């Protein structure tokens, strides 16, 4: 008689999933992927580059035609240099980059995607820091490349005129790098305003007002206010960062940078407070 030995069955075990942690690097990679998956990103960044290069070249052509024709340069070109001509497009590029910054944050609130984002990153604040840092870096690179390319074009156009300056002249590199840094900070400011207001229209309105309209309204107040207050406004402080020359009515490049960083930090602090304290 044979005996059968029972072999105990081993319970099947489910495959072990790897443990994923939410880290700053992974949040940054996710925001990077979201940014470049949008067609509007490519279009807006392309427009910013076009504004920087094309507007600067057009300004240089106008200046050169006036000088070569024996005319006095117009009011906008008094004391112009190839640096100031190259930076004519900064005012247009900053709106493009600032608007895209607003869309980077406020766009998720308008579509409802922010709920999925915050469900994946429950601590919330890393989302804001990643969006601001990532888009600020992109704006910095685009702005810096754009102003240096614009300077190459304007320098070639106005060569042989009183506006011609070389890259090795005093203050030229500082001015160009300052313009790129300013555009990078504008991108961060736009992202902060979008997160603070959670509205694309509201964020763009405040951004345009802060960077363009406030100084115009200041012209309605007494001149003493304009001299003492105007240079600390965001647009005036930002322009001081990349201005080639300064006087008593403007801040130094370092002073302008500190003031503009302060405005940007204030917007970020407000956005961080609302993100933590308020529900989506």
pLDDT above 80: residue 7: no
CA dihedral sign, ordered 150, 90, 179, 142 = negative
- Look up residue 156 and give its two tokens: 């070639």
d(CA 235, CA 212): 6
Look up tokens 């070569």; give the residue.
68
Residue 229 pLDDT level (bands cut at 50, 70, 90): confident
Closest CA to 126 of 25, 199, 270, 197: 25
- Find the radius of gyration of the CA atoms of the chain: 25
d(CA 35, CA 113): 13
The whole-model pTM stands at: 0.88
pLDDT tens, position by position, 64-117: 888 887 777 777 777 888 999 999 999 999 999 999 999 999 988 888 888 888
pLDDT above 80: residue 241: yes
């Amino acid at each position: 008689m044979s005996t059968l030995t029972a072999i105990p069955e081993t319970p099947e075990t489910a495959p072990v999933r790897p443990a994923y942690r939410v880290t700053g690097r992974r949040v940054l990679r996710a925001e990077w992927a979201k940014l470049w998956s949008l067609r509007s990103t490519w279009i807006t960044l392309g427009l910013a580059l076009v504004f920087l290069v094309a507007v600067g070249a057009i300004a240089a052509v106008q200046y050169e035609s006036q000088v070569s024709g024996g005319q006095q340069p117009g009011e906008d070109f008094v004391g112009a240099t190839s640096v100031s001509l190259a930076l004519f497009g900064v005012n247009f590029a900053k709106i493009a980059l600032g608007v895209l910054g607003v869309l980077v944050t406020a766009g998720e609130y308008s579509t409802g995607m922010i709920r999925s984002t915050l469900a994946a990153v429950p601590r919330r604040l890393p989302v804001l820091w990643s969006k601001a840092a990532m888009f600020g870096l992109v704006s910095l690179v685009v702005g810096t490349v754009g102003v240096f390319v614009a300077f190459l074009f304007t320098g070639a156009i106005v060569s042989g005129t009183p506006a011609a300056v070389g890259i090795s002249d005093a203050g030229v590199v500082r001015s160009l790098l300052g313009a790129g840094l300013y555009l990078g900070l504008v991108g961060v400011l736009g992202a902060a305003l979008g997160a603070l207001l959670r509205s694309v229209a509201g964020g763009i309105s405040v951004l345009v007002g802060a960077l363009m309209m406030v100084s115009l309204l200041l012209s309605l107040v007494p001149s003493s206010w304009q001299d003492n207050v105007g240079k600390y406004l965001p647009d005036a402080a930002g322009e001081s960062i990349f201005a080639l020359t300064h006087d008593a009515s403007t801040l130094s490049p370092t002073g302008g940078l500190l003031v503009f960083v302060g405005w940007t930090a204030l917007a970020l602090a407000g956005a961080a407070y609302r993100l933590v304290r308020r529900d989506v």
